[in-house]
Amino acid sequence: MNKRWILAMVLLLGTVILTACGQKYAAVPINEDVDICAICNMQVKDDAFATQLTTKDGKNFKFDDLGCMNEWKKENGTDNIGMDYVRDYNDKEWIEFNKATYVYDASLRTPMTYGIVNFKDKASAEAFVAEQGVGKIMSAEELTSHDWTQNMDKMKMDEEGHGHGHDEDGMKKDSEHDMGENMSKDMHQEGESKEGSDSH
């Protein structure tokens, strides 16, 4: 009887120790002054596109785009990842990568032009697709077979003066903005040509 009691106590104590020692992971805040992407070395903005992961040995890596976090996983593997996080597009709440819902379209503007936006639930993703008029809804599992192609045309536009793509409100506005710029240039050129003809 005493042996059984001692064995039960040992098992209970072991369970308590294991639970106490179990690693807990939590997303950490973004500090725009010091945080740079572990892959592309760009500033990690405190926005809806920031992602992060913490390894089992406690190292934290931040990324400015989900595509960059995917590149890190390809280079380093996933066995040593304790937890990885993305942010909800609407309220920037941190979500575990595997629990989020994703929307992809090459035309969606993200920092490194991978075109993937994150949501805490499928309903939010569906509402976003309805609003934008484009997008394929994907799960974390489906992302494992995604081709992760960057939109190089959009990347070139960003490099030529459109910034680093951190405009959360600019999903639909890129084409409208470009159209407005072109119209303004045309009007300016017309004005110059009229002035030139009037002077003769």
The reported pLDDT for the residue numbered 4 is: 62
**Unique residue bearing structure tokens 């936006």:** 117
pLDDT bracket for residue 187 (50, 70, 90): very low
The reported pLDDT for the residue numbered 18 is: 40
* pLDDT above 80 (res 185): no
* pLDDT above 50 (res 178): no
* pLDDT above 60 (res 58): yes
Residue from 105, 112, 115 nearest 155 by CA: 112
**DSSP assignment of the chain:** -HHHHHHHHHHHHHHHHHHHHS---------TTT-B-TTT--B--SSTT-EEEEETTS-EEEESSHHHHHHHHHHH-STTEEEEEEE-TTT--EEEGGG-EEEE-TTS--TTS--EEEESSHHHHHHHHHHHS--EEEEHHHHTT------HHHHHHIIIII-SS--TT-TTHHHHHHHHHHHHHHHHHHHHHHHHHHH-
Residue type, 90: N
pTM: 0.72
| Residue scoring higher pLDDT (112 or 196) | 112
| Residue scoring higher pLDDT (177 or 112) | 112
Count the neighbouring beta carbons within 10 Å of the beta carbon of residue 116: 22
Measured between alpha carbons, how far is 42 from 63 in angstroms, rounded to an integer? 8
pLDDT in tens, 69-89: 999 999 999 999 999 999 999
pLDDT bracket for residue 45 (50, 70, 90): very high
Mean per-residue pLDDT of the chain: 81
pLDDT in tens, 8-44: 555 555 444 443 455 689 999 999 999 999 999 999 9
| Residue scoring higher pLDDT (168 or 138) | 138
The reported pLDDT for the residue numbered 54 is: 98
Measured between alpha carbons, how far is 66 from 54 in angstroms, rounded to an integer? 15
* pLDDT above 60 (res 52): yes
Is residue 28 within 8 Å of 52, Cβ to Cβ?
A: yes
Residue range 88-110: mean pLDDT, rounded? 97
